[in-house]
Amino acid sequence: MARFTFKLPDIGEGISEAEIVAWHVAVGDRVEEDQSLADMMTDKATVEMESPVAGVVVEIAGEVGDQVSIGAPLVVIETEGEGEVASPATEGATLEAENPGVEEVADKPSPPRGEGLGEGPVSHGEGGAGETPAPHPDQHRVDRAQRDQGHAGGMTDPLLPAGEREQRADHAPVLASPAVRARARDLNVDLSAIRVPDGERIRHADLDAYLRYNAAQGYHAPHANRARGDEQVRVIGMRRRIAENMAASKRNIPHFTYVDEIDVTALEDMRADLNANRGERPKLTLLPLLIVAMCRTLPDFPMLNARYDDEAGIVTRSGRVHVGMAAQTDAGLTVPVIRDAQDRNVWQLATEIARLANAARAGKLTPQELGGGTITVTSLGPLGGIATTPVINRPEVAIIGPNKIVERPVFRPNGKGGDDIVRAKLMNLSISCDHRVVDGWDAASYVQALKKYLETPVLLFAD
């Protein structure tokens, strides 16, 4: 038998280590060539590691959440040597040439099952917090006659014989209104456990009596407001990256936020018309129209479309607009980048936004799609909000946040020397800036420039 040590390869420029965010194998598992071993996360992306050989996993490098240096052993695989494995020197040279990051080591006894490459403790999983025990299967049933008669001496045990309980569960339909069913579902109560005369519906009073009886017997139905045990969750993977990036941004950047109200009535009317005639093109949201307005106005405000290297003391004002798009995924917040947004029309932007959003949700973004932004847009979409104070995506110096669109009455000149009260669609637009690089006057002036385009949307398509 021969053993191969799979070393963590160089998975990105300037990357010195990566975090284990998921294991797809365990010690003792048989793996095939090209089978997934682990997911490793860097500052830029999550990369799937695949096995270059077939064999049995005998060692793994740590637990989920641990950091592994580039070039350090990740997995040791024991292979079958018949006809395939040559001498250590020859085979090692061949394998190293074909798969940099894979190294053959001499035969040696396998460690006890479960031992890892490091000296730290082996994880055996975390136990959950205690939960309220579920009621016993033979929960007592309440006779409606007892409820109606209101026995002063308390309830008697209305437990049905086992055979009758089974027969009812298998054959008798449970009659109850949708409201009773919904309430029982919220309380995790099986309606078939409540005894009522045949053919009658289960009412709220029957459910109340059932709960009172069970409470008297020491059982408690789960409730949405019942206290739960504490839970400890390790901050790893994407959540750890978000925590580190947000802390670094707030620690190093003196933020300020400016918010102004924009009348987007005409913009929303135009967007509805464009969507009604879009054909096979993607449906337009507000975001691609906002990005077009940003690209139109940023050349006059180069201090906003920039990256600040605070260690070198250099601000790089970009000649191109690479827009970061904050996207929420199951794993957490990620920011894919729409490159060269200034060269794309509104439909091309909509297509690229949809593609990046789908890739983000699927965890398929590449390192190139996650870096190099010059300004970021963040939006909560239909969830919205009155105003936001977004956190800058360091080393960028500005981030823009459109907020919820609301309808309100406003005064509009009627051309006759007076005003009419009309219904308007209004949206607050937030911008957070790095006060080391951007002055408040510049941020306010930029939002006013954006406002002109968004309130007169025909300008978005004018040459």
Active-site residue list = 435, 439
Tokens of 21: 């965010």
Per DSSP bridges, beta strands 67-69 and 306-309 are: unpaired
> Distance of CA 416 to CAs 111, 203, 281, 350, 413, Å?
91, 64, 43, 41, 8
Within 13 A of 173's CA, how many CA atoms are on the CB side?
6
* Chain centre to alpha carbon of residue 182: 30
> Distance of CA 277 to CAs 81, 109, 264, 355, 456, Å?
65, 70, 20, 21, 20
Torsion angle defined by CA atoms of residues 65, 69, 75 and 79, in that order, rounded to the nearest 10 degrees? 170
